[in-house]
Structure 1
Amino acid sequence: MSPRTIFSPYVRLFAVPGSSAFSFAGWLARLPMPILGLGAVLLVEGETGSYGLAGAVAGTLAMAMSLASPQWARVMDRRGQSGVLQVAFAGYLVFGIAFVAAVSVGAPQWSWFVFAGLTGASGPNVGSVVRARWAGALDPDSRQTAFAFESVVDEVVFVIGPPLVTLLATLINPPVGFLTGVVIGFCGGIWLSRLRDTEPPVEPVEVDAPRRRPVLRNVTVLLVAIVYLAVGCVFGAMDVVVVAYAEAEGAPALAGLALAVYAFGSLVAGLAYGVVHLPGSLGARFIGCAVFFAVAAQLLFAVDSLVSLVPVGFVAGLAIAPVLVAGTSLVESRVPRSALTEALTWVVTGVTVGVTMGSAVAGAAVDAWGAETAFAVPAVAAAVAGVLALAGGRLLRGPAVPSVELPQEGARVADRKAG
């Protein structure tokens, strides 16, 4: 099979008018995802020497984002994306700068947590915003390819982000790494907010219409969010443990490279997943990918040097994109368009809550046991993700029909059933 044949489904995606612009703007707005978490770890640890405190501050940032991003998404579903993105990213820039200033000048440590939390709370989930634009522009058969492409975009972020912030923090100084992420994210978010032609239309809600059930009462959304919480624990723990391990081995600048290789494995798998038509239902694919994710992460127990960390990280990374794309596709098939941004944000919130937990637990584990032993934290978290997916599998046996429906959604729901 030629490369042209392999990548032709991705090429067809960009026949959609405006898709190149909103996808690239969304990529820029997402670039801070690994930069801010890892940047906060490097900044706080550089000031205090404590990985426990650094993990707690980074976790606060991620936790605030996880709690606030569904609220931003709900407002976007009701009022449109553009204005909400502009307000959110203005706060993102202001509070991000304030956080760096507080740490750099030695302000009271409680203020570090406050400004980290406000920075995270100002960050909407841009991946869900972009995926909602794809979902509104494509037929059901093309959405898996689009979601896989966006998963690859996420992984490119994690390939570029960790080495960038690590080099900036170690070769210049830690504040530069964090601030670079804030500025890039602000520019991408404002650009995306101005691309109104590709913004999903706001679904009108009749005054006397029945009140919509909360998105989290959708069993599929809830299950995927819970599994993603464990997946997020792996991500948060890997950031902290890999940085600590590289420093313990005397090569702190290689932490970014190791994390980039981990993300590169996911990038490769995401490209393949987007063009391969796997057998079975969306629910079965999600369970299978979660189990694969759990098994692959157990290789982390074999890490005994930076040399071994690189191939182990690559193989473990091969399981990331499939489980994320499978879960996103499953949720998209079972919620109405009028609640799609919020639903996608809730499942990603599971990841960010997990990042918070993973960062904090891993930081404490590094301080207590040492970096090499702390690799048990991401390995065990991945195993939990697989067990949760298997345990909840029977809840996914229903038809792929949204459980929440608003007036004027009937035609779209019928189309989705047919698809």
Structure 2
Amino acid sequence: MSPRTVLGPVLGPYARLFRAVPGAAWFSLAGWVARLPLPMLGLGAVLLVEGYSGSYALAGAVSGTLALSAAVAGPLWSRAMDRRGQGAVLRRAMAAYLVTGLSLVAVVVGDAPTWTWFLLAALTGASLPNIGAMVRSRWAAALADAERRQTAFAFEAVVDEVVFVVGPPLVTVLGTLVAPAAGFTTGIVLGTAGGLWLARQRGTEPAVAPVPAGPAPRRTAALTPAVLVVCAGYLGVGTVFGAMDVVVVGFAESVGAPALAGVALALYAGGSLLAGLAYGVARLRGSLATRFVVTAVAFGLAAQALWAVSSLPLLVGAGFLAGLAVAPVLVSGASLAESRVPRSALTEALAWTNTGLTLGVTTGSALAGAAVDAWGAQRAFAVPALAAAAAALIALAGAPLLRTRPAAPAEGPVSRVGDAVGG
């Protein structure tokens, strides 16, 4: 049996998706380049600050400041894009991002007062819009069929995994072999180039939908009960992500094989990538709410295998199993959030879900680091296992809220390619 025969049923729907949406390949590729800084900036900031200060504590604090400010500012940028269009807002954001990011490098390299490091880290993070939400919003605007939107969201989940596979090794090589500032600076340049490239693609930009009059609806349109449940569930999922990075590295070092930490994390991401491809083309029964709850529970159950980790082979197996459950819960959550908000708040709603993930990653890293120091690396696997269980419980507890749909219909103006695609 040829690889084409095996892979055809899986990859065929993705190929047809790109043929159906004019310009999709370009906006997805631009979005991938613009998303590369996501894993590069945090690690790059650590390498930058530690390289010039010698302090990991200071490096972690600066990196955390950047991540938290990005998590808070992302939905605000997305709200502005929903109201004024992606292109105009994105160009302004990228200009601020380039200036503040390069300024952060300058003050660290120039040994300026430490408070300027934190100020510019916060401004750099606050200048970074949520690119993933923008790309998913373009797919949603171009595709009328819910199943095809699921396929598109699954593809973007795979793109996210590729970003997190490529970004960390790239920034590590640059930051250690070239210069401490090289990895962070590359992330700034790549993010700016990708963002400006995406901003130029006006033909696939979602049209600005009418927003109901009055200040209150504008503030709350994106935060429907279903979106809040997804955000809370994603907080648990993100905690697993952040904790796994720390605990896997600690465990690999504790058994004398630190180099294998990257292999274990790569297989964890690989499991998610494969599951994302398969989930995106599956034709599943049940409502979007049911799918989210089921995938969240599956995620929570799969991660319980981490309790049994006592050797590297068991870590690889348990990590791959847990990874298989990652992409389905992320895709189902994005699809659910997309279906529960009006078009006028879609990009903002998707950005809020990513904010939940980002805050979870920050929380998971901190909790796991403390757990490794206090309990040892093997016992610290309790952190991702319990966080995954919490994500499942949140989805189950919030299930009654997931049926709530937006008061305004989600249809209406979609994009400049909507008429050509038609779903």
TM-score by length of 2: 0.87
Which residue, out of 35, 41, 50, partners 1:36?
A: 41
- Matched ranges for 1:13-412 at <5 A: 13-15=17-19, 16-44=21-49, 53-140=58-145, 141-205=147-211, 211-212=217-218, 214-246=220-252, 254-398=260-404, 401-404=405-408
Summarize the Cα distance change of 1:91–1:320 in structure 2 as closer, same or farther, 3 Å threshold. Answer: same
Summarize the Cα distance change of 1:217–1:178 in structure 2 as closer, same or farther, 3 Å threshold. Answer: closer
Q: Is the 8 A contact 2:211 2:218 kept in 1?
A: no
Which residue, out of 1, 4, 11, partners 1:7?
A: 11
TM-aligned CA deviation for residue 193 of structure 1: 0.7
Q: Which amino acid aligns with 1:82?
A: G
Cα distance between partner residues in 2 of 1:262 and 1:51? 26
Summarize the Cα distance change of 1:227–1:101 in structure 2 as closer, same or farther, 3 Å threshold. Answer: same
User: How many residues are treated as equivalent by the alignment?
Assistant: 409
Q: Which amino acid aligns with 2:100?
A: F
Q: Deviations over 1:197-218 (max 9, x none)?
A: 1111112447689944613541
Q: Deviations over 1:34-65 (max 9, x none)?
A: 22223334444556676655444333222111
Cα distance between partner residues in 2 of 1:42 and 1:210? 43
Summarize the Cα distance change of 1:382–1:248 in structure 2 as closer, same or farther, 3 Å threshold. Answer: same
Cα distance between partner residues in 2 of 1:372 and 1:91? 43
Moved more, 340-349 or 255-264: 255-264
TM-aligned CA deviation for residue 117 of structure 1: 1.8
**Counterpart secondary structure, 1:14:** helix
Q: Is the 8 A contact 2:307 2:385 kept in 1?
A: yes
**Counterpart secondary structure, 1:279:** coil
TM-aligned CA deviation for residue 336 of structure 1: 1.3
Q: Which amino acid aligns with 1:296?
A: A
Moved more, 297-306 or 217-226: 297-306
Q: Deviations over 1:287-312 (max 9, x none)?
A: 11111111222233333455543333
Cα distance between partner residues in 2 of 1:213 and 1:179? 35
Summarize the Cα distance change of 1:371–1:86 in structure 2 as closer, same or farther, 3 Å threshold. Answer: farther
Summarize the Cα distance change of 1:56–1:295 in structure 2 as closer, same or farther, 3 Å threshold. Answer: farther
Q: Deviations over 1:8-55 (max 9, x none)?
A: 210111111111100000011111112222333444455667665544
Q: Is the 8 A contact 1:212 1:406 kept in 2?
A: no
Moved more, 209-218 or 111-120: 209-218
TM-aligned CA deviation for residue 120 of structure 1: 1.3
TM-aligned CA deviation for residue 374 of structure 1: 3.2
**Counterpart secondary structure, 2:139:** helix
Summarize the Cα distance change of 1:241–1:169 in structure 2 as closer, same or farther, 3 Å threshold. Answer: farther
Q: Is the 8 A contact 1:73 1:342 kept in 2?
A: yes
Gaps of 5+ in 1: 411-418
The root-mean-square deviation of aligned C-alpha atoms, in Å, is 2.9
TM-aligned CA deviation for residue 135 of structure 1: 0.8
Cα distance between partner residues in 2 of 1:371 and 1:172? 31
Moved more, 150-159 or 177-186: 177-186
TM-aligned CA deviation for residue 262 of structure 1: 1.8
Q: Which amino acid aligns with 2:11?
A: F
**Counterpart secondary structure, 2:181:** helix
Q: Deviations over 1:263-309 (max 9, x none)?
A: 11111000000011122211111011111111222233333455543
Q: Is the 8 A contact 1:205 1:407 kept in 2?
A: no
Gaps of 5+ in 2: 415-422
Q: Deviations over 1:151-200 (max 9, x none)?
A: 11111111212222233334444432222222211111111011111111
Cα distance between partner residues in 2 of 1:246 and 1:87? 43
Q: Which amino acid aligns with 1:384?
A: A
Q: Is the 8 A contact 1:236 1:357 kept in 2?
A: yes
TM-aligned CA deviation for residue 334 of structure 1: 1.4
Q: Deviations over 1:128-160 (max 9, x none)?
A: 100111111112231111111111111111121
